Structure 1
Amino acid sequence: MRLAAVEERMSAMVETSGRRRLRGYALPAVSVGILALLTLCLAWRNLSAAPVTSDYQKWEAIGKGAAEESLVLLKKAGHAARKGDLIALTNAGHAEINGASTEGALDGLAHATGVSRGRNTLVEVHAATWDRPWFAVYDKGSGFCAYLEVNPVTAAAMTTVPKRLPADFFGVCAVERIDAKHLESHVDEFKAKLDKKFFGGNEFRIVTMANAIAEGAPVSVVRAFEFHDHYCPGVTSGILMAGYLKKHFAPGAGGHYFVYAVDPWCKEDALLVLLNATPGKRGYAATYPADADKARRVPEAKDVCNLVFRQNPETKQWDGLALAFQWAETGCPKTGNGLLDRLCADLWYLKRMDRPEDFVKVVKTLELPEGVNPKDWARPGVDPLEQLGLLQPVQSSEPAAAGS
C-alpha cells in the first residue's frame, strides 16, 4: 500500500476536533504521517513469513491452509459450514513429497476444522508415498464437499510459512455437492461431472467414504475402508464376515486367527485390519484360483471364499469354518454409473452391519488333525480345499492301457 493512500485512510479515521480519536479511543494530536508509518510497519510484520524449521511445521501450516481455503470454498457455494458438521478426508501422512513426511498436515487440518479421530470425523486414507497429497472437507449440513490437491512443485519449494498460502499452492481446487440424496436425483448431471474428474480422480473414494461417515458408519467400518482407500460392497463383505466371526467364532482371550483366502477380493483388506491377521505375522494366506480350479470344487464348496481357523489354547488343536458370502438383492436402481450403484449398495449394507448372519454362510465346520497347522496347507503346491476333500478328483485324459 502506498504511503499517500495510507495517509488518506488514516486522515479519514482521525477526527478534526482538539483531541483526535481513532476507533473510539482518545489519542493526543499526532502527525498523520507517523500513524501511517506505524501502520505500514504493523502490516509488514503481519504479512512476513516465518522460515520453515521442520517438515512438521511446514505441513501443519499446509493442513491449516487447506482447511481455511476449504471453508472459503464451501461459503462461496452458498453455505457457511459449522465445525460440528464437518468431515475431513486426506491422504496426508501416507503421501510424501521428496521423501518428506506430510503427517503434520493432520494437526493443521484438525485444528482449523474441529475434526478428530476420536469423533470419527478425520479420515486418514491409505495411499502410496508417491501419490499427491490431497484434502477433502465435507459439510454434512449442506452436502457440499471442497477438494484441494497440493501442487508438489510449489510445496517442495516452500521455505517460509506465510500467513496465507499463495493462490497457486493447490493444483486442483473444487467444490461440489455429493450427498447421496442429491446424487440420486441428478444422475445424468453427475455422470457428466465425473468425466471431468472434478476431485482429481479421487471422486469414488471421497463420495463413498464421506456419505458413509455422514450416515453414522461405525469406527470398524471406517478403519476398514481407510485401509482399502475407498468404500465398496466388496470391502463391506469383509466387514460383515469379521463381524460374524467376532460373534460366532471368537478366538478366545489371547487367541488369534489364521485366515486362508481361497477366492480373494476386496474383503481381504477388511479382514486383515479387523482381525489383525496378516501375512507378516504368519496369520494370512491367499491363492487366486482360475476358472478351471473353481470348476473342480464339489457343489457344496463352489461359493467358499475363506477358511478361518482358530487354535484351542489347551489342546493346541485347530478348528475352523469354510465360509461363503451371500450377496443380497438391495433394491438399488441400476443407473449405469458404477459409483452411484455401489454407493447405494454401500449404504444399504451399512444399515445391516449388526446382522452378519444374513449374509455370511458356514459351508462346513473344520477340524485339523492333531499336529497339523493351517500354515502347513499354505505351502507352495498345497491346496487346502483338496486337503479338506472339497475338490473333485482330477480326471485323467490318457486312454486306459490295453488289457487293463
Structure 2
Amino acid sequence: MNYNRLRWLFCICLALVLCAPAVSASTNAYHMEALGEFAATIAMDEIDFDYGDSDVVVLTDAGRVVVDGQTTEKVISGITKVSGLQNGDSTLFQINRADWKDLWFYFYNRDTGKGLYLVPKEGYFRLTDAAVESLPPENAFSTIEVVSGDIYQMLEDTNAGNKTQEVLGADAFSLLSLANAWAYGAPYDLMNAASLHNHFCPGVSSGYILAKYVEENMPLTDETSYVVVSCPTWCKEDIYNVLWDMTPGKGGVDTSAVFTNEDQTYLTEKYGIRPAGIFVLWNSQENSGKGIALGFRFDDSEWTGPSWGSKIYQTVDMVQNLNNPGDYVEVMEEFTVDADLLAELENPLNNPYEVVGMMD
C-alpha cells in the first residue's frame, strides 16, 4: 500500500517537472505577443493610422534581441495581429542588433512625417499573465514619444530635428535613416540589406548600386557566379551578403590585407574616381571569366546643415536616384580572367589592382 502511494507521488512530481518548462515558455511567449499588441495599439492612436496602412512602417529589433533569456520573435506576431503591418507588405522590418541590446519600436507615418518611439519597461517582463491581461497598454512602456521624423521637415525646423535626435538618442541615425529611405522609395531588397547593416547610409546605397550595375552589365548564367575582390572596404560589403548570399563563412567576397590609403589615393587621381572593387563573372566549367574594376563617385558637395542631417539627406537622394547608376559608377578597367589570375586576385597578400596592372 505504501509502495503504491509512493509510486503515485513520484508520477505526480515527475509530471509537474516535465510540464514546468512548457508553462514557463508559454508565459513568456504570451508576454511578448501582448507587448507587440500594446505597441501597435498605441501607435495606431498616436500617429493616426488604420489596419494595414501602406503609408506606415514599423522598425523594431524584436526577433533579434533577447530579454531575460527569452527570444522576442512573438512580439512581431502581436504587432501584425493588431496593426496589419507585416514584412510581406514592406511595412515591417526587423533591424539587426546584438542580442543583449534593448528592445524598442519605431512606427513611422510617411503621410504626416510623424514617428513614434517606444521602449518597454524592464518590470513588464516580470508581470504575471493576469497582470499583463489587465494592463493598460501605455503602462507597458517607459518611453512613448511622438517625434518629427521626415528629414526635410527636420531640416526646415532644426529645433524639431534636434528634439528628435534627443528623444531617439543612440538609435536616432539608425531609425531615421531607415525610415526615411523606406518613405522615399527604397526597394524591399535594399531595405532588407540595410536592416542587416542596422542603418541606412550612402555606403550601403553604393553597394546596392554597384551590385545592380554588375547584374545588368554582367548577367549571370547557369554556369557562372560572381567573385568580388572588395577593396577598399566600406559599408557596401553588407549588400553582397544579402543580394548575392556571400558571407564570411561561405566566401565570395575577398579583400586585400596590403591595399593602403596611398594606393586608393593613387588610383583616384589616376582614374578620376574612387576605386570600389573588382568584380569577376566566373565560369567554373570553362575556368575563365570577365573582370571589371569599378569606381564609385559620391556626392562631395559641401554640407551646410546640421551634422545629424548629412548622411540621411544623402541617403534619401541616392535612394531616389537608384535608376541612374551612371551618375555614380564608372568602369575603370576591363580584363579577361583565367584560373591563375583569379587566384592572384583572391590572395589577400596581393594588391588586386597591381595584379591587373592598374598601379603602373
Name the TM tier (shorter chain): 0.7 to 0.9
Determine the structure 2 residue equivalent to 1:372.
Answer: 340
One-letter amino acid of the structure 2 residue matched with residue 390 of structure 1:
M
Q: Deviations over 1:227-272 (max 9, x none)?
A: 1111111111111111101111122236321111111111111232
Check 1:373–1:154 CA distance in 2 against 1; reply closer, same or farther (3 A cut): farther
Deviation at 1:166, TM superposition (A): 6.7
Q: Deviations over 1:183-234 (max 9, x none)?
A: 131024423552x2x0242111211221222223211221121111111111
Figure out how many residues of one structure are paired with residues of the other and give that number: 332
Q: Is 1:352 matched up with 2:321?
A: yes
Q: Quick one: distance in 1 between partners of 2:149 and 2:236? A: 25
Contact preservation (8 Å) 1:88, 1:122: yes
User: Matches of residues 1-400 of structure 1 in structure 2 within 5 Å?
Assistant: 53-74=26-47, 80-83=48-51, 84=53, 85-151=55-121, 153-160=122-129, 161-164=132-135, 169-191=140-162, 193-194=164-165, 196=166, 198-253=167-222, 255-287=224-256, 289-294=259-264, 297=267, 299-300=270-271, 303-328=274-299, 334-369=303-338, 371-372=339-340, 374=342, 376-392=344-360
- Secondary structure of the 2:89 match is coil
- Secondary structure of the 1:256 match is strand
One-letter amino acid of the structure 1 residue matched with residue 135 of structure 2:
R
Deviation at 1:387, TM superposition (A): 1.6
Deviation at 1:98, TM superposition (A): 2.9
TM-score of the two chains, using structure 2 as the length reference: 0.83
Contact preservation (8 Å) 1:138, 1:145: yes
> Which gives a bigger RCO, structure 1 or 2 (Cα 8 Å, sep 6+)?
2
- Secondary structure of the 2:63 match is coil
Measured on the aligned residues, the alpha-carbon RMSD in Å equals 2.6
Q: Quick one: distance in 1 between partners of 2:253 and 2:67? A: 32
One-letter amino acid of the structure 2 residue matched with residue 280 of structure 1:
G
Contact preservation (8 Å) 2:39, 2:137: no
Check 1:150–1:386 CA distance in 2 against 1; reply closer, same or farther (3 A cut): same
One-letter amino acid of the structure 2 residue matched with residue 317 of structure 1:
S
Q: Quick one: distance in 1 between partners of 2:241 and 2:24? A: 42
Q: Quick one: distance in 2 between partners of 1:220 and 1:69? A: 29
Consecutive unaligned residues of structure 1, counting only runs of 5 or more, are 1-49, 75-79, 393-404
Q: Quick one: distance in 1 between partners of 2:127 and 2:343? A: 50
Check 1:329–1:290 CA distance in 2 against 1; reply closer, same or farther (3 A cut): closer
Contact preservation (8 Å) 1:322, 1:362: yes
Check 1:61–1:51 CA distance in 2 against 1; reply closer, same or farther (3 A cut): farther
Identity %: 25
TM-score of the two chains, using structure 1 as the length reference: 0.74
Check 1:322–1:169 CA distance in 2 against 1; reply closer, same or farther (3 A cut): same
Q: Quick one: distance in 1 between partners of 2:351 and 2:28? A: 49
One-letter amino acid of the structure 2 residue matched with residue 340 of structure 1:
G
Check 1:320–1:135 CA distance in 2 against 1; reply closer, same or farther (3 A cut): same
Deviation at 1:365, TM superposition (A): 1.0
Structure 1 or 2, whichever has the larger Rg, is: 1
Deviation at 1:93, TM superposition (A): 0.8
One-letter amino acid of the structure 2 residue matched with residue 217 of structure 1:
A
Q: Quick one: distance in 2 between partners of 1:295 and 1:147? A: 42
Q: Quick one: distance in 2 between partners of 1:374 and 1:54? A: 55
Q: Deviations over 1:273-304 (max 9, x none)?
A: 22222222121122364334435658249732
Determine the structure 1 residue equivalent to 2:5.
Answer: none
One-letter amino acid of the structure 1 residue matched with residue 64 of structure 2:
H
One-letter amino acid of the structure 1 residue matched with residue 235 of structure 2:
C
Q: Quick one: distance in 2 between partners of 1:381 and 1:82? A: 57
Deviation at 1:375, TM superposition (A): 5.0
